[in-house]
Structure 1
Amino acid sequence: MTKRIFKSIFAVSLIVLATCTGVTLGILYHYFGNQLQKELKTEAAYLAIAVERDGIDALEALPAQAERVTYIDEDGTVLFDNVADSESMENHAQREEIEEAQKTGSGTAVRNSDTLSRKTLYYAMKLKDGTVLRVSSVQYNLPALLRGMIQPLLIMLVAVTALAAWIASRVSRHIVDPVNALDLEHPEENQIYDEIAPLLTKINRQQKSLKHEIAEAKRQQEEFSIITENMEEGFLVIDAHTEVLSYNSSALRLLGAEAQTGRRSVLTLNRSEGFQNLIERVLEGKHMVTNLEFQGRSCQVAANPVWKEKKVTGAVIVILDVTERMKGEQMRREFTANVSHELKTPLTSISGFAEIINDGFVKPEDTKKFAGRIFKEAQRLITLVNDVIKISQLDEGKFFCEKEDVDLYEAAREILKRLEERAAEKNIHLYLYGPHVKVNTVKVILEEVLYNLCDNGLKYNKQSGSLTVNISEVEGNAQIVVEDTGIGISEEDKMRIFERFYRVDKSHSKAIGGTGLGLSIVKHGSMFLGADVKVESTLGEGSRFILTIPE
């Protein structure tokens, strides 16, 4: 600040000095010009007296250092010139000062002399006999004046500059010293310039506000620490360089790490390949949810990138201990596999006998009705077994079908055609829209997923409702939207509808029919295909299932 004030004062001083110098030189130039004109007029008057008395002989005796004198006849012929050869000079009748002298008795002019080749001031006087006597002198211009005064000007400039610098230095220190001595801890207690009083008042208000905000931030941080420390879930916040910004004890416990002072990389908390890969992916800007093993326990890790101005600045990581849930899932898978294996053979036999009865090998009047029921129930049981087997196969990745190009429009049309009869029973209208989009995928699984979505839309639809399938391309991916006008799904049910055997409307599960595995097959089939399935629903109005398939 001192330097800026010094520079400002010094610059103003130099500007004032330069302005004064310029004005002074201008005044001097004007003064010398007027003075020269007076001297020429006086000299011309003296010479006129001599010429009128002695004639042109008086001019012959002029000294060598005299000003230039020219004697001109009435017709403009040059009779005498003490600098140039009068005989070689042109007629001067048209010269400005000569014409003016012939008319008024005297005349002046300033111009570049053709003879002397420089700027010259001329004064002409008409004599009694009509001749004209002209006296001229070189007019000094401003640069010439400066050249004559260069030494005193430089001395003055150096002296004034040094004085300005000294004064500017003293004044700037005198101004800044009280400002540097301000007590900003107690701004209102300072007695200084009136101009700074509003600033000190503002600083005082800001300090109070800042103290309040710091206290509030500290309180919120303490509350946050209390909440996170009492969470069973592990919680981590990291920056873009993998350094841990915040964590709770549950995170350290699940990762098998110990508390340490100072910042450290999150990669030092657990060095497993899966965990390090998750950190790398989330810092690349990808939302990650995956299952990892930490110290023999199954954990679900959810990692979300933190964005600022389209740049990843860190990530939030939540670790859930899902060991018990995973064990339950494992037990359910084992149970499903065992039950399906044990029941498939006898149920197939029941179905075979029911077909024999249904074909009339036994008396129709006694057995056909019962045989039809046996066959129908057997088919339901076989469907259940087949669904369980499909889920088990999808869980274990045991489908070895090759991929092929599938026309989604044609696949959806065939499935809706298969469901026409069942739709007619509830007077449900079937609609199909969209272009013929082709994807390279496993056709069998895709058809199974699409069939179960449409079948689910029929089961939970209202009487005289509608089922609509829309096919489109969104951001380079194929998308199938299955929309119904059914009973809808509540918010709490949305999280569980893809679980096995879970039903939204348990009170009507028998009347609706099915195995309770349809949406579970959809979920597992989508995962197998690398597709994504989402649900949007409003209770009492219907549901939309959105299946996105990479092309």
Structure 2
Amino acid sequence: MTKKIFKSTVLASAAVLILGVAFVMGILYQYFGKQLNSELEKEARYLAYGVEQQGQEYLEQIKYGDSRITYIDENGNVLYDNTADENKMENHKNREEFQEALSKGKGEAVRMSDTLSEKTVYSAIRLSDNSVLRVSSTQYSVFALILQLVQPVLCIIFVMLIIAGVIASKVASKIVEPINELDLEKPGENEIYEEVAPLLGKINRQNRQIQKQLEEARRNQEEFSIITENMQEGLLVIDPYTMILSGNSSAWRIFQVNEPGIGQSVYSLDRDEDFRKVIEHVLEGKHGNALLRLDNEFVQLIANPVTRDGKIVGAVLLLMNETEKIQRENLRREFSANVSHELKTPLTSISGFAEIIQDGFVKEEDVKKFAGRIYREAQRLIQLVEDTIKISQLDEGENPYEWENVDIYSVARNVCGNLKEIAQKKNVHLYIDGERLICRTVRPIFEEILYNLCDNGIKYNKDNGTVTIHLKDIGNAIQISVEDNGIGIPREDRNRVFERFYRVDKSHSKEIGGTGLGLSIVKHGVAFLGGTLELTSEVDSGTEITVTLPKQA
């Protein structure tokens, strides 16, 4: 804007300057022309008076100046000329100034030279004898004057343009300075030129409108971010060139990306063939879905195209972690298989022994022995069903018991008493380490937890081994640790020992006994009571399982 004002000012100044010079020169030219006519007339009258008094001799006596003097008789013949031979001059009868002087007493005329650079001004006076005295002088034309004054005029114009440029620069800066200092955030508070007021008013209205739109866009963005960031499902939006436009934290977490990949190709997240096929199909306008395997997790990918005016402008990808669902499905199938297997074994034994007895192949003295084996298998079957029912109740959150304040030390003594006979058979010693603690819990469930932990510690122990119950107060919670110095659990099995029917050593499971549901009951029971479970173990050194329960339910 400053440059534009500067150029406009300089151009306007130059135009005014040139027009002014031309106007002044025209005025001066006209003025000096009239002045020349007046002087020639005066000179002619003066000379006419002398001729009237002394005759032609008067003209021959005077000193010549710049003017040309011509004396003409009434017939147009030249009698005298101070610059040329009168005998050689043509008749002047038809000259304009001569005829006007004869008719009016005086006459004037102007004739241009052949080059148009000069003009001759004539002033004629009629004498008493009808002769005419003419005085003429040469004057430069406007064009000739301009040519003679080109250099000084250009110098003057150049100097004036420099002065105009300096002044224009300062004036432009002064004009633009208030505009540059405008506070466009608050245009209504600016006091400036009246001509700018409508523009500032329009800017103020537009600012309010833009601010309103920005606020609405920001609110929509915040709402969108709140919704997407609180989604457990991953959400990605891509353009038709596979570039990621948007994504939530769940998506980055699923793909194990530390920083958002906005602006990168979606293929940088996963180069699996199934993933690429889904992206290709969805950008062709087709709905797509696939189950992806990302490390140890299963992710369901659902892709839908985004269209605008009938064209594919991108796609929305929804990612759902189905790992737990698939694991549960696998556990359910495994549980069904294990239950079938666990039920089949005792039922097969019962059926076989009963069939032998029924067919009479058993001696009288062996009937009691076979009946005992049938009874043990039946008890094993009943125990299996009871444990399964317990886990189902804990899974469904059923609690037929009441919450009460329980003496943990007392429960530990009762559990040790119940397991004393089993421990003696395995030559394992039971110990309790700690003080008397009170906890609000469900006594039967807690007893079941502690019983299964100690029972496992006895079963998987060594000869002359130990099982110790540690009781500890840690403020708002208590810790119950069951530690043994038995065979330990291999590292690869530690994450699975709490699964239903899972056994570390399946080859000796029949010798050890049990249903394979003990630690699963422990896990579900602790979760029901609002506690946490921690396992540490070393092969051939022993295992310690720690249960932490809140004092208040």
Taking structure 1 as the reference length, the TM-score comes to: 0.47
TM-score for both structures, normalised by structure 2:
0.47
Q: Which has the larger radius of gyration?
A: 2
